[in-house]
Amino acid sequence: MKVGLFIPCYVDALYPEVGVQTYKLLRSLGVEVDYPEKQTCCGQPMGNAGFERLSVPLAEKYDQLFRDYDYVVAPSASCAAYVRVFHPGQIRGKDPQHECMASKKTVDVVEFLHDILKVDSLPAKFPYKVSVHNSCHGVRELGLSSPSERNIPKFNKIIDLLSLVEGITVVEPERPDECCGFGGMFSVEEKAVSLKMGSDKLRRHISTGADYITGPDSSCLMHMEGVAKKLGLEIKFVHVVEILSAGL
């Protein structure tokens, strides 16, 4: 199985360690991993801001770069969701016949580990209490967990994976899948609402008594970390992959 690693722009620039750990984890599980160097961004920042037309070439490039892999794995639920949900329509807008292969094969790393590799043991140890941040697009676009709004059997793929880690205590905050208020440029255009959403979310995570907030989306973590530091709230942040790969 050959996997193309998609390291979204902000993970590349701000959280390279998340990319590194994803690579190491996949390799440790026997997966052949390639990183196409010409990759950049899925286009979501422009799309959510209302400039999808500017990001269509990115979707096309993405498809060219990744279409021949068995899977494309990204350590970022929101970017994987954007590729899966929005790319096909964007490309079809220009070329109705085009089949968006890369979009179909794109998964978040949690999905890949849980659904494709069906990982059932990991050597990782993480002797801390972590509060799971169920990011919106992970929950409601990728189905990483059952949305609290729906009456469907309860599940949570992130928690399933974290439960394989030795020494960890996993909790969820009240309102377990309410938005943290990032939303790309939403966080600057609606800065007051975004800050309020972020601080509310942080307080709910903190009141679980957790040492860390963890999630599949560095963008939510980046937002909450920025708010926490601004407000002087004490809690640490770690991407799910960094826990699952601990000790590699």
Interaction with other proteins in 2-21: which residues (CB under 8 A)?
A: 7, 9, 11-17, 19-20
152 binds other proteins (CB under 8 A): yes
Total residues contacting other proteins by CB under 8 A comes to: 74
**Minimum distance from residue 142 beta carbon to other proteins (Å):** 11
Please select the residue that binds other proteins; options are 64, 148, 163, 207, rule is CB under 8 A.
Answer: 148
182 binds other proteins (CB under 8 A): yes
Name residues contacting other proteins, limited to 158-177 (CB under 8 A).
Answer: 175, 177
Name residues contacting other proteins, limited to 204-233 (CB under 8 A).
Answer: 222-223, 225-227, 229-230
Write out the chain in H/E/C secondary structure. CEEEECCCHHHHHHCHHHHHHHHHHHHHCCCEEECCCCCCCCCHHHHHHCCHHHHHHHHHHHHHHHCCCCEEEECCHHHHHHHHHHHHHHHHHHCCCCCCHHHHHEEEHHHHHHHHCCCCCCCCECCCEEEECCCHHHHHHHCCECCCCCCCCCCEHHHHHHCCCECCEEECCCCCCCCCCCCCCHHHHCHHHHHHHHHHHHHHHHCCCCCEEEECCHHHHHHHHHHHHHHCCCCEEEEHHHHHCCCC
Characterize 146-184 residue by residue with b for buried, 16 or more Cβ atoms within 10 angstroms of its Cβ, and e for exposed. beeeeeeeeebbbbbbbebbeebebebbeebbebbbbbb
Q: Which is nearer to other proteins, 55 or 106 (CB)?
A: 55
Q: Which is nearer to other proteins, 48 or 169 (CB)?
A: 48
156 binds other proteins (CB under 8 A): no
**Minimum distance from residue 139 beta carbon to other proteins (Å):** 8
**Minimum distance from residue 169 beta carbon to other proteins (Å):** 26
Name residues contacting other proteins, limited to 28-87 (CB under 8 A).
Answer: 35, 37-41, 43, 45-55, 57-58, 61
Q: Which is nearer to other proteins, 135 or 168 (CB)?
A: 135
**Minimum distance from residue 35 beta carbon to other proteins (Å):** 6
**Minimum distance from residue 167 beta carbon to other proteins (Å):** 27
Whole-angstrom Cα distance, residue 168 to residue 171? Answer: 10
φ, ψ of residue 133 to 5 degrees: the values are -95, 105
**Minimum distance from residue 212 beta carbon to other proteins (Å):** 18
Please select the residue that binds other proteins; options are 29, 195, 206, 235, rule is CB under 8 A.
Answer: 195
Residue type, position 244, single letter = L
Q: Which stretch binds other proteins (CB under 8 A): 101-109, 113-121, 159-167, 194-202?
A: 194-202
92 binds other proteins (CB under 8 A): no
